[in-house]
A and B are shown apart, each in its own frame.
Chain A
Amino acid sequence: MIFEGLSERLQETFKKLRGHGKLTEDDVNEAMRDVRMALLEADVNFKVVKDFVKKVKERAIGQEVLETLTPAQVVIKIVNEELTALMGGTQSKLNISSVPPTIIMMVGLQGAGKTTTAGKLALSLRKQGKHPLLVADDIYRPAAVKQLEVLGKQLDIPVFSMEAGTDAVTIAKESVPYANSHAADVIIIDTAGRLHINEELMQELTSIKSEVKPHEILLVVDAMTGQDAVNVAESFNGSLGLDGIVMTKMDGDARGGAALSVKAVTGCPIKFVGMGEKLEALEPFYPDRMASRILGMGDVLSLIEKAQDVYDIETAQKMEKKLRKDEFTLDDFLDQLQQVRKMGSFEQILGMLPGMGNIKKQLEGVDVDFNGKEIKHIEAIIRSMTPQERADISVINGSRRKRIAAGSGTRVQDVNKIIKQFAEMKKMMKKMKKMQKSPMGLGRFKLPFMH
């Protein structure tokens, strides 16, 4: 299973181990297979995985398994720590020159997201009080200059371009005096996407570099990149000497193992991540969150932030109480469904939670479509019930079901299905409550709808 988290897998492996004590070499070997597969499936480069696994193994053998933790948890903890360390430990910032203008050069493969990132970066710099200038230096892709100009207009940030036919080196060179005379203190050069093996185009980048001497060369990497990420990063770093990396399209469901590979082979810090299509969606990089994501342990912190955006504390507390006292009703069910939808698709949310692999599978069995039409049907059905029915589904007998179906324009089967699903949901919530008591479960955070 591709999307199964490492934690579940390790738990499975260690099931056969009884009791506590020291981790033996055999135990660890078995576990390292899982770690290896999880990393490979997250697109971490094979060589990087090999080195990494070796390191973790050395640390894990002979580790004491403390009373409160299971062997799986001990291994995960080590893996997580090592991953975070490998990913750079702390955040790193842009090099801003003391003498303006600061020159930033964006490079990467075609379709990595350079132009969009250039726009996002300009916006974020302006928010910090800078005066950026965007330079349209992609002279190859049709309408690339236009794309940057449109972005510039949207953001109200000046764009420097020259007439068609001008070579990329000249455009970059001319942008510097232009910036100086127009009081811009940061120049962001958007170069054309190119293959790292295209010598002619790589030569063009080296020429731009020696001409304008950028303070910061950022490699833009698509989070979905596979094994080849290493070669790309190595070539770009070899010919240009990179200062930082931007991972894009991190708002999708890619695990983003490429981040690890790229960091490991270039030693360059990852400075930003692109989290969406909106121009504000450029965020600083958090190594610890990335580590959890690669391991499929769920991006709990991001989820909590998302949840905080959507829920107000008061509602959350009310809900928590209800769930604890088992007073969760169909009204609340409807309410929660709508709240959850605001946070994204249900699958996506489950993906962000650690230890949710099993529940996700169960949900597939239950066959709930949390999107679109189905929600509308559920809404209609619940709204056709009396308050008494909503509070206690056990009173809904045959004739009531018929009435509800007629009232909501659905069939009795549909009504039955909702009632059944609701009952299943309640059951599942009880299970989650139990899980919370285990240390690796949900205990470390609280979400209103699953408390």
Chain B
Amino acid sequence: MGFFDRLKKGLTRTRETLTAKIGTAVLGYADISDDLLDEIEEILIMADVGVSTTEKLMQEVRKGIKKKEIHTPADLKPFLENKITEILLEGGAGVRMAAVGPTVILIVGVNGAGKTTTIGKLSAFYNYYGKKVMLAAADTFRAAAIDQLEIWGKRTGAEVIKHEEGSDPAAVVFDAVKAAKARGIDILIVDTAGRLQTKTNLMSELEKINRVVGREIPGAPHETLLVLDATTGQNAVSQAKLFTQSAPVTGVVLTKLDGTAKGGVVIGIKSELSIPIKWIGVGEGIEDLRPFSAEEYSKALFDK
């Protein structure tokens, strides 16, 4: 099964709760009424599109009605599909790579978002494309995080640079960057400890890691990816904002978009964070993490 089919399968429930429900809702009304609009609003919010994005979309709908772009309830569905696709397609971005020397990817996020697993999958992805990958075990805080990363390193043929549990993560990163340069590594992926974005001291630790990388390789980290659990609600906005203050986030990795009804969150994140989604994970398999394509996503979402 190709990735598009898996994506489509992963979005089945989202289609049921978002696309199909809108379809059913509009059938129940002869005219466009406040009740119908309320129902549409409800569907959007339930699909985790987010409160402000939903408001934005509903405003568009009301404008569309005024401008006579929407005449009947049946016009609502294609109208919304277009608007949502517009949001998804806005300002796409590729993955930044170093012109010479190792490309450094810094992985950040709150506890339990799926950072280490994401790294395992990223490592597998790059390894598949013939890149030499190295992993830096800079989560020195969580019990057995280093072991977890080492298992992934073994599985995907990547070398792991580590210190002892409890040691200074910036020192691990320093060593890893040196090693990556010396050994001709293509991609260095840095695992960091999960931290809630409101913990000032942990965020300054992240700042330090970011600084160390930048000092050793100008222009690095080339990517700082915020790993976001798709189950997360409105807090995602706060995460994006506060992480960027310590380590400017260049993209989002959206994990655990697997088969549940929360695919709408992609729309909200795209519209509210002003940070592009770069990778999405639609399943637990090692091949289920892929670069995000807005076209594919909207096609899969609307079953086109």
- Give residues in A with beta carbon < 8 Å to B: 2-3, 37, 40-43, 45-47, 50, 109-113, 141-144, 146-151, 154, 195-197, 222, 224-229, 231-232, 248-249, 251-255, 257-258, 277, 344-345, 347-348, 371-372
Contacts and interface: CB of A to CB of B under 8 A. Distances in A.
Interface in B39-97: 42, 45-48, 51-52
Contact of A197 (B113, B120, B236, B260): B260
Interface string B232-243: 111111100000
Centre residue among B120, B234, B237 by max chain A CB count within 10 A: B234
A111 B281 CA distance: 15
Interface residues of B, number: 47
Nearest to A348: B198
B142 A2 contact: no
Contacts of A226: 48, 231-234, 262, 265
B235 A252 contact: yes
B244 interface: no
B196 interface: yes
B152 interface: yes
Contacts of A151: 143
B256 interface: yes
B144 interface: yes
B45 A111 contact: no
Interface in B106-151: 110-114, 120, 141-145, 147-148, 150-151
Contacts of B237: 2
B259 interface: yes
B33 interface: no
List the 9 closest A-B pairs by CB distance, nearest first. Answer: A226-B233, A111-B112, A43-B233, A150-B143, A147-B144, A252-B196, A143-B148, A142-B151, A146-B144
Interface in B144-194: 144-145, 147-148, 150-152, 165
A4 to B, nearest CB: 12
Contacts of A45: 46
Contact of B52 (A2, A111, A141, A254): A2
B223 interface: no
Contacts of B234: 2, 41-43, 226, 254-255
Interface of B: 13, 42, 45-48, 51-52, 110-114, 120, 141-145, 147-148, 150-152, 165, 196-200, 204, 229, 231-238, 256, 258-262, 265
B259 A195 contact: yes
Contacts, number: 148
Contacts of B238: 2-3, 253-254
A252 B143 contact: no
6 contacts: A40-B51, A195-B258, A222-B231, A226-B231, A226-B232, A372-B204
A222 B144 contact: no
B198 A258 contact: no
A252 B259 contact: no
Given A46-B42, A142-B151, A229-B231, 19 more contacts: A2-B51, A2-B52, A2-B234, A46-B46, A111-B113, A111-B229, A141-B148, A143-B147, A143-B151, A149-B144, A195-B258, A197-B259, A224-B235, A226-B232, A251-B199, A252-B196, A345-B198, A371-B200, A371-B204
Given A147-B143, A252-B198, A225 B232 contact: yes
Nearest to B148: A143
A222 B112 contact: yes
Looking at B231, B258, B265, the one whose CB has the most chain A CB atoms below 10 A away is B231
B196 A111 contact: no
Contacts of B200: 344-345, 371
Nearest to B239: A224
A195 B148 CA distance: 20
Nearest to B147: A143
B204 A252 contact: no
